[in-house]
Amino acid sequence: MSVDAAPPVPPRSTLSVMLNVILNNTLRSPLRFLGVLFLIFLANSAIQNVIAGEYTLETFISQFIFGLSQGSVYALIALGYTLVYGILFMINFAHSEVFMAGAYIGFFAIHAMDESGFLHNQTALALIFTILVGMTASVVIALLLERIAYRPLRNAPRLVPLITAIGASIAIQQLFLLLFGGSPRVYPEVSLFILPGVAGCELVDGVQVCPGIDIIDGRYDVLLFGYDIRIRPIFFVVLFLSLVLMAILWFFVKRTRTGKAMRAVAEDKNTAALMGINVDRVIVMTFVLGAALAGAGAVLFALYNQQVTPFMGFLPGIKAFTSAVLGGIGNIPGAMFGGLFLGVVESVMPSLLGLPGQLKDLVAFGTLILFMIFRPTGIFGEVITKKKA
């Protein structure tokens, strides 16, 4: 007696398998299901705005350029968060005030050079000196924080250093408020010209002058993809310098003996100490590196934002921390990418969704919430040892 063979099961496509996995994972979590619905709603709003012509390629290009510049500053600050987290497994919430101190002390340096005339006679050297002063100020504040606030609590429960960091943040804010007042300080207007003749020439008192491109205070209308786009070269300068600093950090961590020692301490402090590594020195170096990057980013940020106050570090600091979480806390490439990603998202998405620009902070932190739902370890994944886990 013969039995009919069962009909062959048709092979399932890779796409259908992926859709089934995504659907099953989504339906198991009501929060993820709501997140998917919200993403669909946002996508529909964006498509409708593009179709209606309310959002154009011209707007996107302008906002994308600004977003990269802003995001590069977030990335510089975020690297400080992620470096300290990787070594000490703590969130240094006072890092935003390390950023603020760099911009604030940098103001006094550039203001003094403006008063003396050195800023206008030797603009490039004055700007380099201002950045170095900002970096030095941030490093000093970070070293004081590490020595006074964090080192005595190194073996304390995790909640204690966290509360201490918040208290130190408020204390530094109030100290700067007491010393310098609450009125905004304004960076002087700076012009630094390169490539004489590229931007055209003009007659000034009967003399033909070809200054070139002002890469600090200049604003130029450029024809790109058939659109007239207003571009500020300072955005490209900030992006370029930030990428250079991040590349230097990456090389330092990966290729130098101190960088290898930092990675060893991040894996296991006790084992690193037994191998002859000075753990305290490595931790200090970690704070120095993070603070130096934050100080440089602070001066670059102040050059195009111009105003500095004792409270200016709070919002960029929180967004930098958001960037570190988006990229993967403790992950250096993740912090870099997370900062650039968040800068572009908060610059582009409000207009794309038809929201007022004042809601960019809502978009930034809403992005963090969505990532916590779907990818809690960040884009690149969290770097964490088994012992810490």
Neighbours of 16 (CB within 10 A): 10
Residue 113 lies in a domain: yes
Distance of CA 212 to the CA centre of its chain: 31
Residue 226 lies in a domain: no
Residue 213 lies in a domain: no
Q: Which helix (H) or strand (E) holds 55?
A: none
- What does the pLDDT read at residue 25? 58
Residue 360 lies in a domain: yes
Residue 316 lies in a domain: yes
The dihedral built from the CA positions of residue 242, 231, 317 and 106, taken in this order, carries a sign that is positive
**Which residues of the chain are under the pLDDT cut of 70?**
1-29, 33, 197-210, 382-389
- What does the pLDDT read at residue 389? 43
Residue 309 lies in a domain: yes
The CATH number covering residue 185 comes to 1.10.3470
Phi, psi of 376 (to 5 degrees): -65, -20
Q: In terms of DSSP H, where are the helices of the chain? A: 14-28, 30-51, 57-88, 95-116, 118-121, 123-144, 159-180, 233-255, 257-267, 269-274, 279-305, 314-327, 332-352, 360-374
Give the residue numbers spanning the domain of 70.
Answer: 56-189+235-374
Express each pLDDT in 343-370 by its tens digit.
999 999 999 988 887 888 888 898 888 8
> Rounded CA gap, 170 and 352, in Å?
36
Burial of 188 (0-12, 13-18, 19+ CB in 10 A): middle
Amino acid present at 207? V
Residue 66 lies in a domain: yes
Helix (H, G, I), strand (E, B) or coil at 191: coil
- What does the pLDDT read at residue 387? 45
Distance of CA 313 to the CA centre of its chain: 12
Residue 89 lies in a domain: yes
Those residues whose C-beta lies under 8 Å from the C-beta of residue 337, and which sit 6 or more positions away, are 75, 327, 379, 380
Indicate the number of domains in the chain. 1
- What does the pLDDT read at residue 196? 75
